[in-house]
């Protein structure tokens, strides 16, 4: 006898959980089921911090069973193997089948492993799930030299963690800068200098060509012939949308992920897809773009729930707000960085400023660099970057809202804000206002 549900969600990452829980908020009577492969859900963003003991490995596990039970959401640990779109049912590995009125694919992503010799050697890892961290921790005591491949946020967080363990760290990145997707090169230069000053060996503008070893990894060979000795290699070179289930079920996919409309509906009317598994769209240009962020996944899950509930709400696209902290430096961006805007060929004006994180005579005050990027014609905010030894997430969050609200320089130059010397620089040095005023001057509006 098949169980029937109003909503079935496949995957219990940030997207799936958010969709199921928001669906419950919207309809107390719906029968809702989550099917997930893993015994436990995790907090992926916390994984790097379990490597150096900042948190315990168990702290990366999300105890969501109680939460789901209290929300009256059923949970089945199983793997969905096929979907029959014609009769609204799915079949799982265990042999069970489930019927649905609405189905949500939240199947996430998997790490990309470059097709190079040696990528399958022992002690070569990718990081996506809790067992990956446990496997590294099993051998880490014997590791003297590590190679991290990929200088994105996750790669740098891993560099930081291995360094904290006293391991010699080498960082390989094919672009000539750190954080090539996340910050403009002059901002990320601060991070690069800080890494070099700590003795992290950087191999920028170099491509990993081969990993050598007998059973275990021994060395990495780069495209210019450089050899780096290594007891451990972590490949952190991006992820790919997991579209396998969708694809074999006749759901349209593109190279970037499952194809969805602005309501997160696939080509099958009652099948939705959210999170890392979908092909995203830029809020600013409307072009296809992926985010691979937990924050995007959570928001998308809520939008899908709204649309399933008939509260039609189109999603305008992603701006990928993201922050991290590498050693002492917090950095982040939302929308277009200046470098990305240039690469995209956008017509823009940008302005940089440097203030203090608090009034400069107060304890803890450190420089805070900020850049705003505006569309040249409309002066609408299209991007923001920030860097400081103090937390910059408040700035990135606030500017994310301004980008989504399509605020322009005229509005931001005259915005109202709070002030308090121990917490923020003096009112005359509100960095958002300083940049917006500068852009108005550049546009000859002042």
Ligand X SMILES: Cc1cc2nc3c(=O)[nH]c(=O)nc-3n(C[C@H](O)[C@H](O)[C@H](O)COP(=O)(O)OP(=O)(O)OC[C@H]3O[C@@H](n4cnc5c(N)ncnc54)[C@H](O)[C@@H]3O)c2cc1C
Enumerate binding residues for ligand X (CB under 6 A): 10-16, 35-38, 44-45, 47-48, 79-80, 106-109, 127-128, 154, 242, 245, 275-276, 292-295, 297
- Least distance in angstroms from the C-beta of 155 to ligand X: 10
- Least distance in angstroms from the C-beta of 239 to ligand X: 7
* Cβ nearer to ligand X, comparing 109 with 407: 109
Q: Please tell me whether residue 251 adopts helix, strand or coil conformation.
A: coil
* Cβ nearer to ligand X, comparing 18 with 407: 18
**Closest alpha carbon to 19 in 413, 282, 296:** 296
* Cβ nearer to ligand X, comparing 80 with 222: 80
- Least distance in angstroms from the C-beta of 133 to ligand X: 9
- Least distance in angstroms from the C-beta of 19 to ligand X: 9
- Least distance in angstroms from the C-beta of 360 to ligand X: 30
Dist CA 165 CA 149 (whole Å):
18
Beta carbons within 8 Å of 394's beta carbon, 6+ residues apart = none
* Cβ nearer to ligand X, comparing 16 with 150: 16
**Closest alpha carbon to 187 in 319, 354, 341:** 354
* Cβ nearer to ligand X, comparing 48 with 383: 48
DSSP 212-252: EESSBEEEEEETTS-EEE-SEEEE-S-EEE--HHHHHTT--
Q: Is 45 a catalytic residue?
A: yes
* Cβ nearer to ligand X, comparing 45 with 221: 45
Active-site pick, 19, 45, 85, 331:
45
- Least distance in angstroms from the C-beta of 295 to ligand X: 4
Neighbours of 412 (CB within 10 A): 22
Q: Please tell me whether residue 204 adopts helix, strand or coil conformation.
A: strand
* Cβ nearer to ligand X, comparing 108 with 431: 108
Dist CA 266 CA 278 (whole Å):
9
Asked if 205 and 175 count as a contact pair (C-beta separation under 8 A), the reply is yes
Q: Please tell me whether residue 36 adopts helix, strand or coil conformation.
A: strand
31's tokens: 């029968």
- Least distance in angstroms from the C-beta of 154 to ligand X: 5
**What residues does 212 pair with on adjacent strands?**
219
231's tokens: 């007891």
In this structure, the strands spanning 97-105 and 271-273 are parallel
Dist CA 422 CA 420 (whole Å):
6
Asked if 95 and 102 count as a contact pair (C-beta separation under 8 A), the reply is no
170's tokens: 């080498």
Q: How far is CA 286 from CA 289, 290, 316, 319, 420, in A?
A: 8, 12, 8, 11, 39
**Catalytic residue positions, numbered:** 45
């Amino acid at each position: 006898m098949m169980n029937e549900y109003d909503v079935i969600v496949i995957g219990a990452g940030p997207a799936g959980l958010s969709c199921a829980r928001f669906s419950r908020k919207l309809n107390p009577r719906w029968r809702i089921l989550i099917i997930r492969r893993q015994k436990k859900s995790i907090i992926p963003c916390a994984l790097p911090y379990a490597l150096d003991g900042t948190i315990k490995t168990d702290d990366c596990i999300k105890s969501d069973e109680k939460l789901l039970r209290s929300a009256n959401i059923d949970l089945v640990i199983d793997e969905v193997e096929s979907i029959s779109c014609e009769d609204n049912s799915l079949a799982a590995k265990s042999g069970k089948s489930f019927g649905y009125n609405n189905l949500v694919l939240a199947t996430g992503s998997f790490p990309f492993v470059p097709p190079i010799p040696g990528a399958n050697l022992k002690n070569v890892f990718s990081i996506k799930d809790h067992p990956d961290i446990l496997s590294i921790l099993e051998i880490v005591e014997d590791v003297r030299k590590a190679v991290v491949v990929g200088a994105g946020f996750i790669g740098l967080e891993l560099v930081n963690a291995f360094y904290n363990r006293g391991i010699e760290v080498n960082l390989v990145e094919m672009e000539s800068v750190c954080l090539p997707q996340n910050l403009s090169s002059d901002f990320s230069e601060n991070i690069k200098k800080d890494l070099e000053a700590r003795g992290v060996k950087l191999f920028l503008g170099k491509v990993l060509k081969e990993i050598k070893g007998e059973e275990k990894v021994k060395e990495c060979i780069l495209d210019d012939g450089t050899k780096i000795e290594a007891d451990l290699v972590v490949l952190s070179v991006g992820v790919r949308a997991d579209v396998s289930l969708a694809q074999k079920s006749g759901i349209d996919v593109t190279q970037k992920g499952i194809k969805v409309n602005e309501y997160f509906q696939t080509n099958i009317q009652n099948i939705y897809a959210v999170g890392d598994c979908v092909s995203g769209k830029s809020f600013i240009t409307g072009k296809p773009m992926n985010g691979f962020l937990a924050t995007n996944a959570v928001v998308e899950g809520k939008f899908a729930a709204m649309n399933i509930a008939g509260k039609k709400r189109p999603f305008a696209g992603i701006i990928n707000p993201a922050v991290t902290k590498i050693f002492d430096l917090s950095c982040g961006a939302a929308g277009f960085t200046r470098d990305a805007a240039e690469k995209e060929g956008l017509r823009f004006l940008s302005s940089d400023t440097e203030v203090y994180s608090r009034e400069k005579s107060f304890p803890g005050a450190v420089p805070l660099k900020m850049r705003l990027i505006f569309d040249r014609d409309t002066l609408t905010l299209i991007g923001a970057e920030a860097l400081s030894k103090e937390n910059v997430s408040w700035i990135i969050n606030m500017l994310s809202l301004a980008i989504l609200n399509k605020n322009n320089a005229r509005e931001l130059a005259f915005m109202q804000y709070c002030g308090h010397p121990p917490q923020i620089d003096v009112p005359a040095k509100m960095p958002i206002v300083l940049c917006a005023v500068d852009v108005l001057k550049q546009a000859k509006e002042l």
